[in-house]
Amino acid sequence: MEQHTYSHSRLQELVQNIFLQMGCSPDDATQAANVLVSADLRGIDSHGVARLNGYVRLMDLKRLNPSPSVKVVHETPSTAVVDGDAGLGLVVAPKAMEIAIQKATQAGTGWVAIRNSNHFGIAGYHSMLALPHNMIGFAMTNAGPLVAPTFSKDKLLGTNPIAVAIPAQEEPPFVLDMATTTAAYGKLEILQRKSQPTPTGWVQNGNGEPVTDAHAVKNGGALLPLGGDREHGSHKGYGLGAWVDIFSGVLSGANYGPWVPPFATAGFMSSAEQLVGAGTGHFVGAMRIDAFRPAEEFKQHMDNWIRAFRKATPVDGQDRVLIPGDPERILEAERRQNGIPILPIVVDSLRELAKRFNVTWNLD
């Protein structure tokens, strides 16, 4: 399928102006656009500007407050609970991460549970906010139920991603950003747009049988936990997803499990009739490295760790062993220079949003 490329600065301007017209403050509009465009720059197209239409739909459904009053509702010197006032998770999560960093500055570590939020984009963006502070950053979120636990036909968990960002001295940071499923649902949406099947181990049908139909989840099936099936370790992916759900939802006072509200692009999903908490939940944290050992010493050893893995002998057909964060970092450098490829269906969606909100179209 033919794709056109657009500069990240023009995409940033367009998306930012749409968020402004939705009712976001200038700072929040800039922040929200930053998260989406960062996803596209890093090659996580499933969570980039293609998601903008979903946030608009959340607003239309009265589930999104574009001008929230984000508040700390409980705290200790090293922890806090934040209520996002139904705001954009793209805005609420960075604000919560700022609190975690402030607490880590004082207490050594800072941990913030977030309730009453919405979809927060790529988890890696939020964890990486800790890097300039000589801190290790963590971020996770629960999501609407699309995932069947091992041995289940029922969908009870979200894709529930985990991210950790660890600084090094001369080497690029270690950035792990992963769903706890074999693939994020956004990857299915990309395959649906391209009319392509999924790889084996991504989805099952309504009878719990593995299939390769990219529309299977829409038709009563489910995403599979990381591993795909019991023989390949799906119980481990299930356990990781459950951990994220408990930290993000049960600990914060947000919804959890089958009660987490679906993202608006998943039009085939219906919200639970009886909620058990407030909105979607996240959990973020920051750890000051020098709370454990001198930061410069640690980062030198991180360089040593990274170089040892880079020197590993690659298997046939591969150039080298990658460090988590390498593919995204390499692609970001390329896309900053050459532009971000956008599918025509996504361009059409952006054009419609620009027209609806009377925003100047700047991509042609």
Instruction: Judge whether 133 and 70 are in contact, CB under 8 Å.
Output: no
Tokens of 287: 């750890």
Strand ranges (E), 53-187: 71-75, 79-83, 109-117, 135-141, 162-166, 174-178
Query: Residue 173: CB partners within 8 Å, gap ≥ 6?
Result: 128, 131, 165, 166, 167, 325
Local structure of 139: helix, strand or coil: strand
Give the pLDDT of the chain (364 residues) as one tens digit per residue.
578 899 999 999 999 999 999 999 999 999 999 999 999 999 999 899 999 999 999 999 999 999 999 999 999 999 999 999 999 999 999 999 999 999 999 999 999 999 999 999 999 999 999 999 999 999 999 999 999 999 999 999 999 999 999 999 999 999 999 999 998 887 888 898 888 999 999 999 999 999 999 999 989 999 999 999 899 999 999 999 999 999 999 999 999 999 999 987 555 566 666 789 999 999 999 999 999 999 999 999 999 999 999 999 999 989 999 999 999 999 999 999 999 999 999 999 999 999 999 999 999 8
Tokens of 359: 């925003």
b or e along 121-136 (b: 16 or more beta carbons within 10 Å of the residue's beta carbon)? bbbbbbbbbbbebbbb
Which residues are CB-contacts of 131 (< 8 A; sequence separation ≥ 6)?
Answer: 137, 165, 167, 173
pTM for the structure as a whole = 0.94
**CA atoms of 210 and 322, how far apart (whole Å):** 30
